[in-house]
């Protein structure tokens, strides 16, 4: 069964949520502050993270940014703020969904299930597969998980990406992509809607950083957009962050 990392500093609420999650069969790991959450992410590699926005010391946004530097598991933000700008910002730092307090436990559980289902569909393997259900769980240690992911063809709208054959097609026509362009496209179709920072893309696709790397990412994105034709507009620029595929 899936492991949930629950990060919430209000102990009563944290324990209440934990009880409901366990009732649904999840394994729950609790953190009451940001730094502990980051440590537990490395120790437990949770399948999903429920992350409160307002935490003492290091807030949920900062935690989210840090997790996203090297992990792709779904993150559900809890927030008491309902301003639209905050919501957008939460998603732009790499959160996948959010729930505004006060929320019902039923709603929260439904969101968690939906996030895990999405990961499962992406990987086309059962949630109980744990790490295998999140093929890109870690930039550092993804090599073996990637081998599993590489056997799965991903279909997203008119796009079809076959990592094993290294072939991408648009409406059935093969796209003429360079290896880097292919890897970028694969990452986007595996995680539609997810915003990727330029730093993440460089580390993930190129494997190292160097001066001017942001321009390199931008150049590759521009070429990839052009090759995708009308669909190129679906790779959108996230201001101050990077890029995401909206499809």
Cβ-based neighbour number of residue 73 at 10 Å: 25
- As measured in angstroms, the least distance from the Cβ of 54 to Ca ion is 4
C-beta closer to Ca ion: residue 86 or 148? 86
C-beta closer to Ca ion: residue 8 or 181? 8
Nearest-CB residue for Ca ion: 54
- As measured in angstroms, the least distance from the Cβ of 39 to Ca ion is 19
215, 235, 216: which is closest to 225 by C-alpha? 235
- As measured in angstroms, the least distance from the Cβ of 234 to Ca ion is 35
Tokens of residue 35, six digits: 């730094």
C-beta closer to Ca ion: residue 9 or 148? 9
Region 32-71 residues binding Ca ion, contact defined as CB under 5 A = 52, 54
- As measured in angstroms, the least distance from the Cβ of 196 to Ca ion is 28
Number of residues that bind Ca ion (CB under 5 A): 3
Burial degree of 38 (CB within 10 A; 0-12, 13-18, 19+): middle
Tokens of residue 37, six digits: 């959450």
Tokens of residue 70, six digits: 């090297």
Residue corresponding to tokens 């590699």: 45
The region of 9-17, 62-70, 181-189, 193-201 touching Ca ion under the rule CB under 5 A is 9-17
Tokens of residue 200, six digits: 């993440």
Dihedral, CA atoms, 143, 164, 128, 133, nearest 10 degrees?
60
Among positions 9, 86, 97, 203, the unique one binding Ca ion when judged by CB under 5 A: 9
Contact set with Ca ion (CB under 5 A): 9, 52, 54
């Amino acid at each position: 069964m899936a492991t949930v990392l629950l990060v919430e500093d209000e102990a009563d609420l944290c324990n209440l949520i934990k009880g409901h999650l366990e009732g649904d069969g999840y394994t729950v790991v609790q953190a009451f502050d940001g730094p502990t959450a980051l440590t537990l992410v490395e120790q437990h590699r949770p399948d999903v993270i429920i992350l409160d926005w307002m935490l003492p010391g290091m807030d949920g946004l900062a935690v989210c940014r840090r997790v996203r530097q090297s992990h792709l598991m779904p993150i559900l933000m809890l927030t008491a703020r309902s301003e639209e700008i905050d919501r957008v910002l939460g998603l732009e730092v790499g959160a996948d969904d959010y729930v505004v307090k006060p929320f019902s436990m039923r709603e929260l559980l439904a969101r968690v299930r939906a996030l895990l289902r999405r990961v499962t569909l992406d990987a086309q393997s059962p949630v109980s597969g744990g790490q295998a259900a999140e093929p890109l769980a870690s930039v550092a240690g993804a090599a073996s998980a990637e081998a599993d992911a590489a056997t799965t063809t991903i279909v997203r709208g008119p796009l079809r990406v076959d990592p094993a054959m290294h072939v991408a097609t648009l409406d059935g026509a093969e796209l003429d992509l360079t290896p880097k362009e292919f890897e970028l496209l694969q990452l986007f179709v595996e995680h539609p809607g997810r915003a990727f920072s330029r730093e993440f893309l460089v580390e993930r696709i190129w494997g190292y950083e160097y001066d001017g790397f942001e321009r390199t990412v931008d150049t590759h994105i521009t070429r990839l957009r052009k090759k995708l034709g009308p669909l190129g507009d679906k790779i959108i620029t996230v201001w101050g962050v990077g890029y995401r595929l909206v499809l």
